[in-house]
Structure 1
């Protein structure tokens, strides 16, 4: 039978999702735990690979197994063999035609950014950081230029293996939350920014490269129209440096309702 799992993980200690020799990855940890629970080797396919130090709130994988066990058993049993920073959130039997990657209609990410004169401490590794105020309207205007089908070569890593740089970005939502009292030395309030991205697929480092540009615009170092110029330039050299991975979260894929899979998890709704 084919099983689908929803996985959450803190990516700080891992060199990304995908299995690699001689380094610690989320996929290796998950497959080792599944193998111990199932008592046979298990190979998984995921909805979207994440990079080193990037977190997952609802990564979805599928695998085939000869075992017929209750869904709750797969959750509890696998979690018993996983490290504390990875957890199976749900399990569900799916038809053989389901494919975690190919069946996804879209993918969702969020980037959480701390705007504060003081660097993060308890949130270290879980948020990005800027020490200057950001202009919401300027960033949202710039982000709106990216919505739609475009050639995103300006935001594509040199190591990207995607066959085409053309992707359809459906939405970028920007909000500021958790404002505290104004800092006595600066006169403005620290807060957390949340940037939400929805697209049919993403290029390697695409979101982190976009984030670098949005921050430059939010700080007034570039105009919102610069984002439009970058799209036309189609050159990675023209854009801002790649932003830190710490605040990037894979929120999960979007599937057709007919598959009957969960759209959210407890981890999704709790943080960020």
Structure 2
């Protein structure tokens, strides 16, 4: 058996999420079906993160074990051929050590959330951004985001169905940038941590949007965090604007020689 790391990009709109389900389409199911066209009896694959229904990925990482010694480029080409017409693509492939694990070897995970402020409905980007019809202010959101950095009990910002053993996590980065967008403005939230709670990023963004809209003050986010109460959280934003941007490894399996 040889182990391979796959960097995968996908549009999560038609899927029920990453994780394989018996009666619903999933990204894991699509990739495993493509692998099964290449070899029989391939073990189940593992991924860096289990994205929810409607969430996209720019750099999801999964690993698979193959009986045949594949050239990584040819393996990625073969998988992309069999993934058609699903909106899933293997953008990089690398042979890795037998003890590499896409989930447990990851040193961090990075998410991107795209929020667009404009009056007009979305057309080309529908399902890929969260649109709000009112203006937003960048500086108050940035000030509020600083309260979330570091190691905290994030009970306020975790889903009630979250199965994590502890609500304590360390948030390494939450950076917000503003850029132009046709008919409005786009705000991009770049979030990084070793691991996340269920709905944590969407809870962050939904709460910070309230700050940008002027409904909350930046210090209200600090109070919500300290409350350790899900009821203190702002709205949870929809999944379409969320992207798993990447996962970190040491060494990086996709780095050049």
* TM-score range normalised by the length of the shorter chain: over 0.9
What's the RMSD between the two structures over aligned residues? 1.3
1:113 aligned to 115, 128, 142, which one? 115
**Inter-partner Cα distance in structure 2 for 1:223 and 1:5:** 42
Q: Which segments of structure 1 move beyond 2 Å, counting only runs of 4 or more?
A: 38-42, 258-263
Q: Residue 270 of structure 1 corresponds to which residue in structure 2?
A: none
The answer to whether the 8 A contact 2:3-2:66 is kept is yes
**Inter-partner Cα distance in structure 1 for 2:21 and 2:41:** 21
1:233 aligned to 212, 227, 233, which one? 227
1:138 aligned to 137, 140, 158, which one? 140
Aligned pair 1:78/2:79, yes or no?
A: yes
| TM-score in terms of structure 1 length | 0.90
SS of 1:253's partner is strand
The answer to whether the 8 A contact 2:93-2:254 is kept is no
The answer to whether the 8 A contact 2:157-2:204 is kept is yes
Q: Residue 171 of structure 2 corresponds to which residue in structure 1?
A: 169
The CA deviation string for residues 241-264 of structure 1, in whole angstroms up to 9 with x for no partner, is 2111011000011111x244249x
**Inter-partner Cα distance in structure 2 for 1:12 and 1:111:** 15
In the TM superposition, residue 97 of structure 1 has moved relative to its aligned partner by 1.4
**Inter-partner Cα distance in structure 2 for 1:249 and 1:105:** 18
2:207 aligned to 199, 203, 213, which one? 213
The CA deviation string for residues 83-131 of structure 1, in whole angstroms up to 9 with x for no partner, is 3400011111100111111111110000011110112111100110111
The CA deviation string for residues 20-61 of structure 1, in whole angstroms up to 9 with x for no partner, is 121111000110001112244341000011000000111001
The answer to whether the 8 A contact 1:255-1:261 is kept is no
Aligned pair 1:18/2:19, yes or no?
A: yes
Structure 1 segment 1-272 matched on structure 2, within 5 A: 1-82=2-83, 83-179=85-181, 190-256=184-250, 258-262=251-255
The answer to whether the 8 A contact 1:16-1:54 is kept is yes
Deviates more, 1:31-40 or 1:118-127: 31-40
Distance 1:259 1:216, change over 3 A: closer
**Inter-partner Cα distance in structure 1 for 2:58 and 2:140:** 29
**Inter-partner Cα distance in structure 2 for 1:67 and 1:43:** 16
The answer to whether the 8 A contact 2:94-2:253 is kept is no
The CA deviation string for residues 148-172 of structure 1, in whole angstroms up to 9 with x for no partner, is 0111100100111111111111111
Gaps of 5+ in 2: none
**Inter-partner Cα distance in structure 1 for 2:7 and 2:177:** 26
Distance 1:233 1:15, change over 3 A: same
The answer to whether the 8 A contact 1:53-1:245 is kept is yes
**Inter-partner Cα distance in structure 1 for 2:6 and 2:153:** 33
Deviates more, 1:64-73 or 1:216-225: 64-73
**Inter-partner Cα distance in structure 2 for 1:97 and 1:226:** 45
